[in-house]
Amino acid sequence: LDLVFGFCCPSVQEGCVARTLPAFMAAWGEDFVKAQEALKEERFFDGVQLINSSIQSLGKEVSADGDGERLLKEPDAFLTEVEKKLTPEVRTNLQHMFEVRGDMVRGLGANKRAAVDYSCAIRLGADNSEIKAKKARVEEPPKEESTSGTGGKVPVTVITGYLGSGKTTLLNRILNETHGKRIAVIENEFGEVGIDDALIETGPMTMEENIVEMSNGCICCTVRGDLIAGLKKLIKNSKKNGKPLDGVLIETTGLADPAPVAQTFFADDFVQKNLSLDGILTLVDAKHLIMHLDEEKPEGVENEAVEQLAFADRILLNKCDLVDEPALDEVTRRIHMVNKSVQIRRTVQSKVDMDWILGIQAFSLDKIMEMDGEFLSDNTDHEHDNRVTSVGIQVAGEVDQTKLNEWLSWFLQ
């Protein structure tokens, strides 16, 4: 702390930082101290929240318009505007802030963004070999990794897609494929009565103990804590039983926003250290996608179909047998309007080569941060369309399908 702040502060205790720090540092100094502590403890996600808050507060003080967020979003342009009027003390602290932030996002895997932060530190006068070496490391081409995971972590594939796109069909194909991998499954349903879990066909390498059902809410919001608990349970059980997992499949509800699900792999320390997000796989109903994309949502409600395309690493354009070639070309064009570079594979009944969807190491934190600057923020909310609800009816005995269909036809008229 002596090095960072330029004054003697041998111990900073909770609740007294603002009194210990000089007045001009009080607005951002406390979070800066906590961010450095988080970095030492490798709590990278928590540390990003703290260092972002610190940088924004300091940026607000030195900017002409009081917009401190620009120091994070457009650091080069911001520094060009204010650099000449920065005091030596502020320059020194900004150097350290950007170095700390670079270390944080590098720890999470965002090397491209880390290079930006290290460049800012160097620009502000941090002319030392250590920071230059850090910048050089994150700018190196990524090394080829084993498809069994990154750094010993269990790879996770998130299967998402709007209602009726074929997610459960694909899941069953994966589980019954002869690939010799021990795969765990997390199945999420919007309603309180689980249905899809009964449709899952366990394969030779998938045991009942490795299937976790989460119902009555989406893992992107209301039962997100259950997702973390479920992932921890799977990892701990696999270690306890001496049966290490080769992968985890997460099937979301059709109404899920993939962004909060993906964020889970960075927000929780245990999950971040034991699992890696291999890719987000979005299934698309070729016949109905455009209708879902064009649907008008209430104010403040996201269009889940758009979000599922935007965050996809691979897309299965499914049910291609239901439309003609011009319609498929138009659907493909609309997909690329949302996600320009995504790879698309046309399928029928979710048939696809396993190598195209598993062990692909396609998820990129840098790519997501370029698209969504708030991705690593822990205060983002996801609001579902409250016009969509679920009612579960459980009855004993067998259902007369003819009578059920007649009742549904009457109800929908």
349-375 tens-digit pLDDT: 999 999 999 999 999 999 999 988 888
**Predicted confidence band of residue 22 (pLDDT cuts 50, 70, 90):** low
Instruction: Count other Cβ atoms within 10 Å, centred on residue 97.
Output: 27
Of 310, 308, 313, 256, which is closest to residue 284 (Cα–Cα)?
308
* Of 11-15, 315-319, 374-378, 397-401, the least confident: 11-15
* Of 225-234, 274-283, 386-395, the least confident: 386-395
pLDDT at 193: 45
Of 255, 166, 240, which is closest to residue 210 (Cα–Cα)?
240
**Predicted confidence band of residue 307 (pLDDT cuts 50, 70, 90):** very high
The proportion of the chain whose per-residue pLDDT surpasses 70, expressed as a percent, equals: 79
Instruction: List, for residues 154-200, the tens digit of each pLDDT value.
Output: 999 999 999 889 998 998 888 887 777 888 888 876 444 444 444 45
d(CA 254, CA 318): 15
Higher pLDDT, 392 or 111: 111
Please spell the DSSP secondary structure of 399-413, one letter per residue: --HHHHHHHHHHHH-
Asked if residue 76 has pLDDT above 60, the reply is yes
* Strand duo 211-214 + 343-346: pairing: unpaired
d(CA 303, CA 383): 10
Higher pLDDT, 227 or 385: 227
pLDDT at 382: 57
pLDDT at 400: 85
Query: Which residue matches tokens 């997460």?
Result: 250
pLDDT at 54: 93
**Predicted confidence band of residue 139 (pLDDT cuts 50, 70, 90):** very high
Mean pLDDT of the chain: 82
Higher pLDDT, 382 or 140: 140
Mean pLDDT of 57-70: 87
* Of 70-79, 255-264, 325-334, 385-394, the least confident: 385-394
Instruction: List, for residues 215-239, the tens digit of each pLDDT value.
Output: 545 555 555 678 888 899 999 988 8
Which of 134-138, 215-219, 396-400 shows the highest mean pLDDT?
Answer: 134-138
C-alpha distances in angstroms, 382 versus 84, 219, 297, 309, 385? 41, 11, 13, 16, 10
pLDDT at 378: 77
Which of 11-15, 147-151, 242-246 shows the highest mean pLDDT?
Answer: 242-246
Query: Which residue matches tokens 């990794």?
Result: 145
Asked if residue 67 has pLDDT above 50, the reply is yes
Asked if residue 21 has pLDDT above 60, the reply is no
Instruction: Count other Cβ atoms within 10 Å, centred on residue 96.
Output: 19
Provide CB contacts within 8 A for 6, sequence distance 6+.
89, 92
